[in-house]
Amino acid sequence: ISKSSDDVATFASSAARYKALADKLEAAPMSGGLSSKWTEFVKEQTGNQDEITALRKEALEITNSEAIKSLPPGPATDRDIELARAPFPTEKADPKYVAKWLGAISRLNDKKAQYAEFKANFIGEHGTLREKGGKTLVSAWKDYQKEIGGSGEGGNTPGITGKTNSDPMGGWSIKPVGQ
């Protein structure tokens, strides 16, 4: 129960942070591609970093963090990290794309927070991952998602696609809305 409660706070905090950064990226007068890379290089060389530089660095830190989270437990080589990072936005990605990606990550973390809270409440109520009637936590989560308008499979949640297996978050993937 304690871990699930901690997860609620972690995922909700990440969701809020990612959403706030996505909103800032959407509003910022930024470009992507080689010109943005060149502009940032000049700013770094002249010591003229600004809010745009800070936004880019924060977005890069989040993409690196999310990529590293996707690695399996244990030691990772540089090649492992490179492969894990491949599907994530690059430094040169268009800020609007990065904002959409962050929005999708935010929604995914929000869904993870909802699940962690549901799990903590379920275990607190039943003392285990199974109700006395035999219904499992996973079945109860899927039923709850249907009750609140979700499909229980991520299908009605914008930016979250995929299907669950035994883990309610396992097998889900994200894509920016509109992609």
**Helices 51-69 & 2-27, crossing angle to 10 degrees?**
140
> b/e per residue, 35-49, with b = 16+ CB within 10 A?
ebeeebeeeeeeeee
Distance between CA atoms of residues 139 and 22, nearest Å: 33
Evaluate if residue 40 carries a pLDDT over 80. no
Contact assessment for residue 59 and residue 129, using Cβ atoms and an 8 Å cutoff: no
Total-model pTM: 0.56
CA distance 64 to 81: 9
In percent, how much of the chain has pLDDT > 90?
0
Instruction: Please determine, for residue 166, whether its predicted confidence score (pLDDT) is greater than 50.
Output: no
Give the tens place of pLDDT for each residue, 74-128.
777 777 777 666 667 777 788 888 888 888 888 888 888 888 889 889 988 888 8
Question: 99: how many CB neighbours lie within 10 A of its CB?
Answer: 26
User: Whole-angstrom Cα distance, residue 88 to residue 60?
Assistant: 10
